[in-house]
A and B are shown apart, each in its own frame.
Chain A
């Protein structure tokens, strides 16, 4: 060991023993920061890896178009022949069954149940020949034999299904039994935000199911291109071809990727966000501790300078401790992160694929931790630059870290201050409180740590909570382009859709369990895009009840149209602009009334006032349930009565489809609540500990001139309470303003059609419970730490 190293080691050991509490607190916060940073980056890496792996195996389509009803096979063949960029294409036939029509039984034990709790569509398909494969858990492409079925992995977990269980499908002709031969992952529909999921059966069973009836036939036209970057041109070409089937949703490769990454990437993003705030807190804290150390050890530093040690060696000596601590924190945080990542990515691995461990698996978290290390040590090094300014004489004689110029400047500042602040001019009668206030002002450079930390902690706690309450709010569906309602009935295109519409509407209007029935029709207009006319989806209905929230402008009236955020971008529209659309060759020019956010149909929609009763591609009805009625039961009744209608209890549906995201936010909210309170309390105790030590003589003096211990304690508590409250109050204010736009722009970046995320906070929690919890944490810490002052011999304070 080199001599300097051994000095460093000895110094570190001595310091660790001497300042156990302070060092431990710093270490804990550093470990937490490193842990969260490593976990966030590892989850991100695993997620991207898993998605890539699944995409490699399953080869999802680059463009797909859903459709219900008749279609022109010849037109599809012609289109394919005209487009050499198509590598492969397929028309996948699907049979949709209601969850209630699916039941299972375990022959060995007789256990059974049904899947009725699931609200998403269950589509039965056969394995595709060339691409868009459903993949089993070994990464293989399963081809079921007759009598076998492969069930989505999500259902395996949710309903605890096992290989060998019987799956019973209720068709119009009775039950058809299949044996579960395995579980499949679906690249198209893996996302927890997906509204449908696919079951794999053999050709023979598919034929049997479709002959038996009871399922809703649907197709997806899927294309795989020679080059994925051609997708947008390709989509435009497809949509401008009149003869092609297109009454359902169109989805591109990018959208599949984004949706996949969005739902699960949010967790990783939340973790990294929490980590960044914690790093900020630990840096502030380190700076405070370092400054304290320099003040405490200024004479030693002076002595080292006096014997001729260069500044670099001295700061190196001190820095060695922070280097060691940060390094230790990074290693410990990294190790803990491995455990946490395994827990957090378990569902990701099941739904997508087990990503192989590669170089990046190690490199990404190591790089993230290296950044943390470099950043923290770099900041510490900067604080230690102060050592250069310390002058031997001032340090040794006056115990001051300041050089002559700084000393003079400080004296001047102080002289100016004491001329102004004056007890003599003080009007109040509470001298104790006045003194605390003057103290706080004079020592604001130190005390600022507390409000800043509490501000950060409060932001840390509030933002995830606001996200959670926003996604959980019944109003959130309006962000998704749907209306706030209890029951929603969808009628997709079919031969007799207009008659069914009359029947459903009549039934709903007569139904006493329902109130406020609203009807909307989806009409496929055309609009002129860059390459000519293309499909333009317009929802026609009555918006006078103000059920849609507009980010710009207002609701459409007659002769007007409102467009979704993505359409507004695409066609460069804003309120007041004229916009021409056409239907069956007849054009109309409308004025844009407003812009709203929407994630349905890929986010490209529009709304017009009016009523369309025939010829639409689809119809949607919304209704509220009367007091005391169960929306789920009502929805189920309509599903039974009108098999071609998809009827869902809206709130439950949204809760279910968003449950994965809200679960992630809930974990993030709980985690950041615990960390926020814990870190805030930890730093308060650290700060007060150091503060009380350096204030000993002052407290001794106050005691000598007649201040009681209670009054001295009250001063400290009052100052803490004030500092804590200021920081805490600013937190939610920022979260509601700046924080909202930061988070909102992240979500806007995802390109889902949410341009302007307005939080729907839980006011009681965010504006009352959280601040109170934080303030209590700070105040209780102050109570605990100052309680020790009672009963002390005050002379000990004066003796230093």
Chain B
């Protein structure tokens, strides 16, 4: 499903300062951003520019210092922690560079965890959905494995399954391929493209121009501000090479 014109996630004059350091670190300096439903948005920027902080702030993991965030018309910034957590549980999915899993659960249970928590009464439905997801991303055969018994690519695909199991409105991915070699990167990016074409909104941070080329739009973050953005339009496999070059050239302009 292609992207639409309706805004799903929006933030206005978002600022974030970490007070745990001395002096406090001002990371986001007033971000205005609107993500459309079904859009695949990539956030790029130098290391330390605040990309991860942006994801954490708009997902309610961290409390923004100023500004507000709305998801599907509901203002996250005025909600209390249990409520925001509930939104994360039912409407958001997270994928990280490092795959965080519970080592005392097998792959299937790890994937089931959030979805089962969201709808504990519909266990059969959740299990069926998770089994289908694992099948779709090719990890059905390792579902009873421990998390140290599978490859990095399989683990990251398991992350995607976990993120999708709750049928989220929006998916956040923070350098999901940062720790993977090129064949595994392709594996994971194909999976994400697949997710996107299924209609899920996707916000991804990446350093890899090839990955960024798959996005509908790229925004560029510098010193806590969105300094530039570029519409790429819908991605097709045939068009991949050209878009990659285009992204590369655009990034070089910014001294990336």
Contact = CB atoms under 8 A, between A and B. Distances in A.
Partners in one complex: yes
Interface stretch (A240-248, A277-285, A789-797): A789-797
Interface in B14-59: 18, 20, 52-53, 56, 59
Contact of B85 (A417, A428, A701, A707): A707
Contact of B101 (A415, A429, A701, A711): A701
Contacts of B56: 793-795
Interface residues of A, number: 41
Given A438-B105, A698-B100, A415 B81 contact: no
A710 B82 contact: yes
B163 to A, nearest CB: 8
Nearest to B148: A411
B24 to A, nearest CB: 12
Interface residues of B, number: 46
A706 B117 contact: yes
Given A418-B109, A704-B100, A795 B94 contact: no
Given A418-B106, A423-B109, A795-B61, A708 B81 contact: yes
Contacts of B114: 705-706
Nearest to A710: B82
B118 interface: yes
B94 A424 contact: no
A392 B166 CA distance: 42
A697 B103 CA distance: 12
Interface string A396-427: 00000000000000010011011101111010
A292 B120 CA distance: 36
A423 B100 contact: no
B61 A415 contact: no
B20 A442 contact: no
Interface in B57-111: 59, 61-63, 81-82, 84-86, 88-90, 92, 94, 96, 100-106, 108-109
B81 A709 contact: yes
Contacts of B18: 793
A415 to B, nearest CB: 5
B52 A418 contact: no
A99 interface: no
A710 B84 CA distance: 12
B104 A417 contact: yes
A700 interface: yes
Contacts of B96: 704, 798
Interface string B107-148: 011001110111011010001000000000000000011101
Contacts of A424: 108-109, 112, 123, 127
A430 B113 CA distance: 11
A439 interface: yes
Contacts of B145: 415, 418
A580 interface: no
A9 interface: no
Contacts of B84: 708
Interface centre among B86, B106, B123, B145 (most CB of A within 10 A): B106
B149 interface: yes
Given A418-B109, A419-B144, A424-B112, A697 B100 contact: yes
Interface string A366-399: 0000000000000000000000000000000000
Contacts of A418: 104-106, 109, 144-146
A435 interface: yes
A429 B120 contact: yes
A414 B148 contact: yes
A432 interface: yes
Contacts of B85: 703, 706-709, 711
Given A423-B105, A795-B53, A706 B118 contact: yes
A429 B117 CA distance: 8
B222 interface: no
B91 to A, nearest CB: 9
Contacts of B112: 423-424
A431 interface: yes
Contact of A793 (B63, B103, B106): B63
B162 interface: yes
Nearest to B104: A442
A241 B203 CA distance: 108
A286 to B, nearest CB: 26
Nearest to B62: A793
A435 to B, nearest CB: 7
Contacts of A432: 117
Contact of B61 (A414, A421, A703, A711): A703
Contact of A415 (B62, B117, B121, B146): B146
Contacts of A698: 100, 102
Interface in A704-729: 704-711
A705 B162 CA distance: 9
Contacts of A794: 56, 61-62
Nearest to B100: A701
Nearest to A420: B106
Given A431-B113, A795-B52, A795-B56, A414 B103 contact: yes
Contacts of A703: 61, 85, 88
A796 to B, nearest CB: 7
Interface centre among A430, A443, A704, A790 (most CB of B within 10 A): A704
Contacts of B90: 706
Contacts of B166: 706
Contacts of B92: 706
Nearest to B84: A708
B194 to A, nearest CB: 21
Contacts of A793: 18, 20, 56, 61-63
Interface string A431-447: 11001001101110000
Contacts of B108: 422, 424
Given A705-B162, A794-B61, A794-B62, A411 B104 contact: no
B63 A442 contact: no
Nearest to A413: B146
B121 A429 contact: yes
A266 to B, nearest CB: 49
A793 B53 CA distance: 10
Nearest to A407: B148
Contacts of B62: 793-795
Contacts of A709: 81, 85
A711 B92 CA distance: 18
A706 B86 contact: yes
Given A423-B112, A430-B120, A705 B61 contact: no
A435 B113 contact: yes
A792 to B, nearest CB: 9
Interface in A664-723: 697-698, 700-701, 703-711
Contacts of B61: 703-704, 793-795
Contacts of B59: 704
A425 to B, nearest CB: 9
Given A418-B144, A438-B104, A706 B109 contact: no
B63 A421 contact: no
A439 B59 CA distance: 27
14 contacts: A411-B148, A418-B144, A418-B146, A419-B144, A423-B116, A431-B116, A704-B96, A705-B94, A706-B85, A708-B82, A708-B84, A793-B61, A793-B63, A795-B61
Interface of B: 18, 20, 52-53, 56, 59, 61-63, 81-82, 84-86, 88-90, 92, 94, 96, 100-106, 108-109, 112-114, 116-118, 120-121, 123, 127, 144-146, 148-149, 162, 166
Cβ-closest 5 pairs across A and B: A706-B89, A442-B104, A708-B85, A701-B100, A418-B106
Given A704-B94, A706-B114, A710-B81, 17 more contacts: A418-B106, A419-B144, A421-B105, A421-B109, A423-B116, A424-B108, A424-B109, A426-B123, A438-B105, A439-B104, A441-B104, A698-B100, A701-B101, A703-B61, A704-B88, A710-B82, A711-B85
Interface of A: 411, 414-415, 417-419, 421-424, 426, 428-432, 435, 438-439, 441-443, 697-698, 700-701, 703-711, 790, 793-796, 798
